[in-house]
A and B are shown apart, each in its own frame.
Chain A
Amino acid sequence: MADRFAFVVEVPSWEQLSDEEQGLVISSQGTDADIVPDPELAGAIEYGRRLRGLLDTDHAEGLVIYVRLLIALLGQAGLQLSPRRAGMILRNILAVHAANRVLGFSVTFQNSALLAVRSSVPQLAQGIKVDQVKLLAAHREAWKASQLEEGDATISILTERDPVRRVMKASALESISASDFSSIVADALAALPPGGRHALAFNLFESDAASRLVAAVAEQCAELYTMIATAQEVHESVGSRSVRHRIWQHIVKILAQLAPDVQETVLKSNLLCGLFSSDQLAVEEDADRAIEAWEQANSALCLPGKQERRNAA
């Protein structure tokens, strides 16, 4: 039965509780917990889920080798784990490491894996004593053989082709210096099309990651952010049926299709009007492309502290 549960966590037995703790258990009323929706927790979970996805992409291959070796070594040490458990261990490692990152704990990937493995042994629920020394030895050997190195996070950032994902990975890694983080952001801003780069700047300024930017890049992001966050005015005389006129008509058509009284509509209106005013739309299709790039980057981006700030607002 225990093999069906992803995590198996040991709790202290009755004898291990202090007199006071035993008293609290005895006197507890068994009333329902006062559960209220917590948007901060929901934000942290969403951020963790995205991080887990990134870790999965980067480390799945190495982790598969690690888990395969670990299961074999634990089997040799007398601890038999099922194939279903093998898959759970892999997923647990990713989840524990993502959670450590979200909580801001500076824990190595190897230690996250060890914590996950220690909490993934179903024999614990059966009262079978698990030899922690053997488990640690198996973990170390499997880790070494799987060649999952600590530097992987940095390498993974450098080898990531997608600029948005590169910024997300860098923002999750506290050990990256402000200048390196800023270079990654500056490269991403240059690589992304209009709309996409605005979404990146907007999300950075809405998250804690902006505080890691050096002045020049913060300035660049602030300019893009301001275009999105402030209402734009357009006053221009154009030739009838000219390209400029047709672009404007197309913008009006796009905006008319958006839901009224929604914050996203306000931001998109500011984006299109700002791009039009600053002459960054050469043809009608550029407006569609900008909206598409905005939506794409916006949905992909999830940066630390963003949800918390939004909730505070």
Chain B
Amino acid sequence: MKAQASDLLHNMSAPAKTTISLDAPAQRLFGFGIVIALPENCEAARPSELLQLLVGGKRQTAKVAETELHRRIQARAIELPLPPVAAATAQTRNGDVECTALLTIMSVLAKSSSRVYLRDKEPNLASILPGRRLVLIVQKEITL
């Protein structure tokens, strides 16, 4: 009977909880981060708008703009000093470098999923979106 009473008492109380907490350090301890995102004030999403943002002048038709943007992205991707494959993450850290070159940003966004940048992938123009933000993790510091 005594044992039963003890169990009853225990069951009536809330089980004790512990909070596990581990914060990531403010800076990257491994590799370097390159932040890739269109400028904050940029609202362009269509190929014709993106091309106009890039080269200025009159807005081209959708087909012409798509072809031209595709060509420029492919040419830029070959020139980039990035490795052919790089991991991508959403996590930014102090010391990550922000890429400001518009064509480079478009090239990386067009050739990246949320996890990986693939230089040799066919560019997906639909993934060049305002507000999309990626951080490439590379082994050495690279200026884009």
Contact = CB atoms under 8 A, between A and B. Distances in A.
A131 interface: no
Contacts of B1: none
A253 interface: no
A222 B18 contact: no
Interface in B97-121: 113, 115-116, 118-121
B16 A206 contact: no
Nearest to B117: A222
Interface in A172-215: 205-206, 210-211, 213, 215
A218 B16 contact: no
Given A226-B115, A226-B137, A237 B87 contact: no
Interface residues of B, number: 34
Interface stretch (A30-38, A86-94, A238-246): A238-246
B18 A233 contact: no
Nearest to B25: A231
A306 to B, nearest CB: 10
A266 interface: yes
Contacts of A225: 87, 137
In the complex, which of the residues A215, A266, A312 has the most CB atoms of chain B within 10 Å of its own CB atom? A215
A222 B116 contact: yes
B31 interface: yes
A20 interface: no
Interface in B112-144: 113, 115-116, 118-121, 137, 139-140
B24 A239 contact: no
B3 interface: no
Contact of B115 (A219, A233, A245, A313): A219
Contacts of B113: 215, 219
B83 interface: yes
Interface string A211-237: 101010011011101101111111111
B54 interface: no
Contacts of A144: none
In the complex, which of the residues B18, B83, B87, B118 has the most CB atoms of chain A within 10 Å of its own CB atom? B87
A313 B24 contact: no
B115 to A, nearest CB: 4
A8 B140 CA distance: 42
A205 B84 CA distance: 10
Contacts of B25: 231
A210 B15 contact: no
Contact of B29 (A213, A231, A235, A273): A231
In the complex, which of the residues A222, A232, A310 has the most CB atoms of chain B within 10 Å of its own CB atom? A222
A239 B83 CA distance: 45
Given A211-B83, A229-B30, A240 B18 contact: yes
B137 A239 contact: no
9 contacts: A210-B83, A211-B85, A229-B31, A236-B20, A239-B16, A239-B18, A240-B15, A312-B139, A312-B140
7 closest A-B pairs by CB: A231-B24, A211-B84, A222-B116, A313-B139, A240-B16, A313-B140, A234-B22
Interface of A: 205-206, 210-211, 213, 215, 218-219, 221-223, 225-226, 228-241, 245, 248, 263, 266-267, 270, 273, 309-310, 312-313
Given A222-B85, A263-B29, 15 more contacts: A210-B85, A211-B85, A215-B113, A218-B116, A221-B116, A222-B88, A225-B137, A228-B30, A229-B137, A234-B20, A237-B18, A239-B17, A263-B30, A309-B139, A310-B139
